[in-house]
Structure 1
Amino acid sequence: IQFMKGGGPYGEQMAAQRLAPFLTIIQTGRPGWVNKENPHETDKA
């Protein structure tokens, strides 16, 4: 499952704490959103 959100804390993170060690959330990627009009070089596929 992927979630793309800004700010926090997130409900998914709070639920993961209650479900540990059976559920782990791994945050990846760069902070912020992709500008579709002018994407950063690392965001281009």
Structure 2
Amino acid sequence: THGGEDVAIYAIGPGSDLVRGVMEQNVIFHVMMEASQLEQR
């Protein structure tokens, strides 16, 4: 789903500072885009 549920997420490497352990599910897309340095169209 694309709800606002909290999910556990962990990361290492470039952009891992954007991950905070438990985050709302709908924020993860934006974290991935920022970490990969891709532009959203």
What TM-score results when the alignment is normalised by the length of structure 1? 0.25
Q: Which has the higher helix share?
A: 2
Q: Which has the higher strand share?
A: 2
Q: Which has the higher contact order (CA 8 A, sep 6+)?
A: 2
Instruction: Say which one has the larger Rg.
Output: 1
What TM-score results when the alignment is normalised by the length of structure 2? 0.27
